[in-house]
A and B are shown apart, each in its own frame.
Chain A
Amino acid sequence: MSLLKIRNLGVEFPTAGGPFKAVDGVDVDVAAGEILAIVGESGSGKSVSMLATMGLLPWTATVTADELSFDGRDLRRMPPRERRNLIGADLAMIFQEPMSSLNPCFTVGFQIREALRKHTDLTREGRHKRCVELFEMVGIPDPERRLKAFPHQLSGGMNQRVMIAMALSCRPRLLIADEPTTALDVTIQAQILDLLTGLQKETGMGLILITHDMGVVAETAERVAVQYAGQKVEDQPVGDLFDHPHHPYTAALLAALPERATEKRLPTIPGVVPGQHDRPAGCLFSPRCKFADERCHTVPPPVQPPAIGQARCHYPLDVPAHAEQVSA
């Protein structure tokens, strides 16, 4: 049974030029103990959909969903108070910029203790002990001293470890990591990714990794959801996705990776992600897709069955012989 289940999630922002659909019909399923990566370029709505799940979007955003449940409990109908208790305890999130996610006015120890005070009924000493324990768990040397440090006295990698410690403080069952290593150097990125996957195995929590880096996906994820312009276009186990992408966008994206290039000239995806004012009528990828025909330009594509990677495409690529294809 999936831990987090989202059906047909939509997020809309009012802007100067009319409403903007940032997320459109996204489904997410994560089971406990699973690592799901959500990949996409900027503007694909990958962060927005998770922020919507957490209830962290500004009030101007309109969030709609057919289902939005965590562990069988409906998040939409939950009273705000209960939802706040759930978020932070069972559902935790870490962000890209560790420096700005921590309050610079307080020591990191104070900030973790604060989280513990809100969500647990530990005593003062209990909280302190748990802090030390957490810091050891995320590999921060000399925890007693580091608890007294302010965020600006720690490096980016250390701050990200603090964020992870804080997220783990209440033993969450699902951790959402939004580009957790993008702001960090490669050697530090490797450390943080190892830490995250290690902790995930150790605690058996679910992990959603939002990223744009295909390398990070390949090395850490078990299942991958690819998003494009606010829609999920493909969802497959990581090995299958890299070997047999079904959606032309995924295929083109993988081909464009410099390390997969066979010659000096890289295969490219022409054009840019459609913006607010130039969303095509049919398939959102059709203006950039080399396989697109008239139907793609006019008819929104169906979502193919799991055997074809849930590809949102009229003409999925590399269809296995036994799989049944649906058409719109």
Chain B
Amino acid sequence: MADASSQTGRTLIDADRPGRLAEFWSYFRENRGAVIGLYVFTAFLLTAIFAPLLAPYDPSQQFREATLQPPVWQDGGTWAFPLGTDAVGRDMLSRLIFGARFSFFVGIVVVVVAATGGILIGLIAGFAPKWLDTLIMRLMDIILAFPSLLLALVLVAILGPTLLNAMIAIALVLQPHYVRLTRASVLSERAKDYVTSARVAGAGRVRMMFVTVLPNCLSPIIVQAALSFSTAILDAAALGFLGMGAQPPTPEWGTMLADAREFVLRAWWVVTFPGIAILVTVLAINLMGDGLRDALDPKLKRS
């Protein structure tokens, strides 16, 4: 015994093998779009957090003497309102900055609700007897068969048009994706030896689900979470635009677009800036999600 143990004892695991985080970062860094996305997302996050400090005015303060004032670089624009004002004289920049808060809030809440529910149901489906699994998956198929925005609209129509209800609706619509994803990874993980090994060690079903299997299924779920973050923002904006989400005067980007509809021809800035804000944010998050996938998906890894 002695010699075998001392011999292998000497073989050090070398210290400078890159850690998991470093490895993740090196894969992530390879994707330049993802890094740019990450920067933009960070800026977006900081804007949302420090909105009251960054915004020059209160988002609902109305400057009656300066309605529909163009941005600063156009004739008639002033530095007082760098991105112009809307129809009732509210500062666009301030509204956009505060809008980031709502978008971020929507994204977080929707992802948390959808992911928690989806992962839970997916885990149950993955471990359930065949009939329950079939029942759950067919239910998810039904939800997926509806056009997602339409379903969200119907839900909001039933629940009433508020931002909270819109978020619940979007979360419900996004949830089946998590269910399917989780179930698929659970099924593939369950076939692996370490799960059998946990069973031989006597692990109960709950322990198997949450301690043994779930942590190994997280990579694809994280990617999905990042991507559905942007979907949530987009859907919330769409609902807002249709008047089914946040209600005026909330400075939500989609709602801002809806408010400005009638001025599209006269004042391009009232629709363009919220539109660009949505576009940039969603694009950045999607790019970041792609990078996450590259870095987390072992199948795409090069050795």
Chain A residues close to B by CB (< 8 Å)? 13, 15-17, 58, 60, 268, 270-272, 275-278, 287
Contacts and interface: CB of A to CB of B under 8 A. Distances in A.
B302 A268 contact: no
Nearest to B4: A268
6 contacts: A13-B303, A17-B16, A271-B8, A271-B11, A277-B17, A287-B11
Nearest to A20: B303
Contact of B18 (A13, A17, A58, A271): A17
- The size class of the interface chain B forms with chain A is 10 to 19
A270 B302 contact: no
B16 to A, nearest CB: 5
A272 B26 CA distance: 26
Nearest to A60: B302
Contacts of B302: 15, 58, 60
Given A13-B303, A60-B302, A270 B11 contact: yes
B14 interface: yes
B7 A16 contact: no
Interface of B: 4, 7-8, 10-12, 14, 16-18, 22-23, 26-27, 302-303
B26 A16 contact: yes
Contacts of A268: 4, 7
Contacts of A16: 18, 22-23, 26-27
Contacts of B11: 270-272, 287
Nearest to A22: B303
Contacts, number: 34
Nearest to A15: B303
Contacts of A270: 7-8, 10-11
B163 to A, nearest CB: 43
A315 to B, nearest CB: 21
Contacts of B16: 17, 277
A272 B17 CA distance: 15
A271 B22 CA distance: 26
A278 B303 contact: no
Nearest to B24: A16
A58 B300 CA distance: 13
A275 B7 contact: no
Nearest to A276: B17
Nearest to A58: B302
Contact of B14 (A13, A15, A58, A277): A277
Given A16-B26, A16-B27, A278 B14 contact: yes
Contacts of A15: 302-303
Contacts of B10: 270-271
B14 A271 contact: no
A225 B27 CA distance: 36
A16 B25 CA distance: 9
A60 B14 CA distance: 26
User: What 10 A-B pairs are tightest by C-beta distance, nearest first?
Assistant: A270-B7, A271-B11, A16-B26, A278-B14, A17-B18, A277-B14, A16-B23, A277-B17, A277-B16, A16-B18
A17 B17 contact: yes
A287 B12 CA distance: 11
A271 B7 contact: yes
B10 to A, nearest CB: 7
Nearest to B6: A270
Contacts of B27: 16
A278 B23 CA distance: 18
Given A13-B303, A16-B26, A60-B302, A275 B4 contact: no
A278 B7 CA distance: 17
B19 to A, nearest CB: 10
B17 A275 contact: yes
A231 B92 CA distance: 67
Contacts of B7: 268, 270-271
Nearest to B16: A277
A271 B7 CA distance: 7
A276 B12 CA distance: 14
Contacts of B23: 16
A58 B303 CA distance: 11
Nearest to B9: A270
A276 to B, nearest CB: 8
Contacts of A275: 14, 17
A106 B182 CA distance: 32
A58 B18 CA distance: 23
Nearest to B27: A16
Nearest to B22: A16
A276 B22 CA distance: 16
Contacts of B26: 16-17
B202 to A, nearest CB: 32
B31 to A, nearest CB: 13
A271 B10 CA distance: 8
Nearest to A18: B18
B18 to A, nearest CB: 5
Nearest to A271: B11
Contacts of A13: 303
